Amino acid sequence: MSQLSNTSNPNTLDLVAFDSLLSSSEISTRNAVADFGNHHLRPRIGEWFDTGQLPIKEIALSFGDLGILGMHLEGYGCPGGSAVEYGLACMEIEAVDSGLRSMMSVQGSLAMFAIHHWGSDEQKDKYLPRLAAGELVGCFGLTEPSAGSDVASMQTRAKREGDEWVLNGSKMWITNSPIADVLVVWTRTENVDGNDENGGERNAGKPGHVGFIIERGTPGLSTPTINRKLSLRASVTGEIVLDDCRVSDAQRLPHVSSLRGPLTCLNEARYGIIWGALGAARDCLQTTLAYTAQRPVFKRPLSSFQLTQAKLSDMTVELNKSLLMALQLGRLKDRGELKPHQTSAGKLNSTRVALDIARECRSLLGAAGITTEFSPMRHANNLESVLTYEGTAEMHQLIIGQALTGEAAFR
Ligand code: TGC
Ligand code: FAD
C-alpha cells in the first residue's frame, strides 16, 4: 500500500500512482522506515514535543541500527543508499516530526558528509563508522549570531600557531550542539596552509574558510542550550562558543579552504528537506481527512461540505505535484546531475507547500487543532524553522533568480 495513504483512507491521497515510479527496493526501504517511525517514534512524539526533552542518544543508536545515518554515503560503515532512498527515509521520519528528520540531516548530510567529502582518510576512519552507527552524535556549526544568511560575514576566526590552530568566536542555532560528541565548525582564517582542493600551495598563507572537527571536552569549547523554542521542540538546539579553543592541524578538514566547503554540505541537507517537508504535509492531510470525516458540523460530517472538499483537493494536488518534483530531483541527484539552484527550487517549493498545508489543516481542525493531540499545528510550528534553516525562502528565491538572470542579488 502506498505510503501516501498509511492511515485511515487507503490510496486517497495518491493522485499520481506514485509507487509505480519507484523500484521495489525503494518501496521496501521506505516502508521499513515508515514502520519504524510509526511503531517507535510516533507514540512518543507528542510527549517529546510537549516537554522539549528527547532521548537523543537512544534515537541516534536506533537510527544507526535502521541504517539512516549517512544513508547515501559510501564506505566507512555508511549504508550507501541512493539519493531517492535517502529522500524517502527523510519523508517518513519527518512525517513523524521535523525535529527527528533534523537529527538525521545534521548527522548524515552535514557532519558526516563534511568529513566524508572534505576530510582526510584518518578522519574518515576515526569518525564515520561511529557516526553511522549512532554511537557518536555530530553537529555542524556554520550560522553565527550576526551571520546567518550571509555566511561570508562569519566572525569566527582560526589562527595557526605551529601545528595547532586557535579558534575564537561563536556559532548560534546549532542543532544538537549541546549533546554532540563531534562538532564540525567552519571558521575564517588569515593563514590557510596545506593541501586543499582549491589549489594546495596556491592558498598557503592566504585567507580562506576552513572547517575543523572539534571533539567534546576540548578546552575552550562550550555549547549552551537555546531554550524557549516554539518550533522544533523535539530537537536540541544550542550555541558553540570557542574561547581560545586549541585543536591540532590533524583536526582541520584538509581538502577545502573556501565557502564551497560548507555550501557543498548544505546542498545535501537541503535535498533531504525537499522530501522531508512533504512527509510533514502528508501527515497533516491524513490527520485532517480522518478528523473531518468524523467531525459533525451542522448535522453532517465536515468532510461532506463543498468548501472542505475544495481545500482538501487543492492541498492534495499540491502535495502530489511536489512529490513528483522531489522524485525528479532525486533521480537527477542519483545521476550526478542535480544543480544547486534545482535543489533550491525543491527546498523552496516543498517548505512553502508544506507550511501552507499544515496551517490550512490546523484551521480545519478548529479548536481541536491547537493542541499536540493532533499533529498539524506541531508540524506547522516546526515548518517555520524548516522554512528558515538551510537557507531561508528568500535566499532560495535569490539563488534561483541568479540562475535565471545571471545576476547575483544577494548583496
Ligand atoms: P558565493 O560567492 O556565491 O560562493 C562562495 C563559494 O561557494 C561556492 N558555492 C557553492 N558550492 C557548492 N554548493 C553551493 N550551493 C554553492 N554556492 C556557492 C562558490 O562557487 C564559491 O566557491 P569558490 O571555491 O569559488 O570560493 O557565496 P556568497 O557569499 O555570495 O553566498 C551565497 C549564498 C547567499 C547563496 C550563501 O551564503 C547561502 O547559501 N546562504 C544561506 C545560508 C544557509 O543556508 N545556512 C544554513 C546553515 S546549516 C542549517 O541551517 C542546518 S538546519 C538543520 C537541518 O538541516 O535539519
Ligand atoms: P537572517 O539572515 O538574519 O535573515 C532574516 C530575514 O532577512 C530572513 O527573512 C531572510 O530571508 C531575510 N534576508 C536576509 N538577507 C536578505 C537579502 N539579501 N535579501 C532579502 N532578504 C534577506 N545553522 C547551522 O549552521 N547549523 C545548524 O545545525 C542549524 N540548525 C538550526 C536549527 C533551527 C531550529 C533553526 C531555527 C536554525 C538553525 N540554523 C542552523 C540556523 C539557520 O541556518 C539560520 O537561521 C538561517 O540560515 C537564517 O539565518 P538568520 O536566522 O541569521 O536570519
Ligand 1 site, residue 266, Cβ cutoff 6 A? yes
At residue 12, the pLDDT reads: 79
Residue 239 designated active-site: no
Ligand 1 site, residue 381, Cβ cutoff 6 A? no
* Cα 282 to ligand 1 centroid, rounded to whole Å: 29
Ligand 1 pocket test target in 236, 257, 260 with most atoms within 8 Å of CB: 260
- Cα radius of gyration rounded to whole Å, the chain: 22
* Cα 149 to ligand 2 centroid, rounded to whole Å: 5
Ligand 1 atom nearest the C-alpha of 143 is 47
Residue from 20, 22, 2, 21 nearest 12 by CA:
2
* Cα 209 to ligand 1 centroid, rounded to whole Å: 12
Ligand 2 site, residue 65, Cβ cutoff 6 A? no
Ligand 2 site, residue 186, Cβ cutoff 6 A? no
Ligand 2 pocket test target in 392, 399, 407, 411 with most atoms within 8 Å of CB: 392
Ligand 2 atom nearest the C-alpha of 395 is 11
At residue 268, the pLDDT reads: 98
Ligand 1 site, residue 274, Cβ cutoff 6 A? no
Ligand 2 atom nearest the C-alpha of 146 is 52
Instruction: Determine whether 208 is exposed, middle or buried from the number of CB atoms within 10 Å of its CB (0-12, 13-18, 19+).
Output: buried
**pLDDT tens for each residue of the chain, 411 residues long:** 344 444 445 457 999 999 999 999 999 999 999 999 999 999 999 999 999 999 999 999 999 999 999 999 999 999 999 999 999 999 999 999 999 999 999 999 999 999 999 999 999 999 999 999 999 999 999 999 999 999 999 999 999 999 999 999 999 999 999 999 999 999 999 866 544 444 444 455 567 999 999 999 999 999 999 999 999 999 999 999 999 999 999 999 999 999 999 999 999 999 999 999 999 999 999 999 999 999 999 999 999 999 999 999 999 999 999 999 999 999 999 999 999 999 999 999 999 999 999 999 999 999 999 999 999 999 999 999 999 999 999 999 999 999 999 999 999
Q: Which ligand ends up closest to the CA of 144?
A: 2
The answer for residues whose C-beta is within 8 angstroms of residue 330's C-beta and 6 or more apart is: 82, 83, 84, 87, 271, 275
pTM above 0.75, yes or no: yes
Which residue's C-alpha comes closest to atom 44 of ligand 1?
391
* Cα 321 to ligand 2 centroid, rounded to whole Å: 27
Ligand 1 site, residue 93, Cβ cutoff 6 A? no
The answer to whether 277 touches 385, Cβ cutoff 8 Å, is no
Please pick, among 26, 318, 390, 394, the residue that the annotation labels catalytic. 390
At residue 201, the pLDDT reads: 47
Q: Which ligand ends up closest to the CA of 94?
A: 1
Q: Which ligand ends up closest to the CA of 393?
A: 2
Ligand 1 site, residue 260, Cβ cutoff 6 A? yes
Which residue's C-alpha comes closest to atom 19 of ligand 1?
260
Ligand 2 pocket test target in 49, 113, 143 with most atoms within 8 Å of CB: 143
Ligand 1 atom nearest the C-alpha of 388 is 50
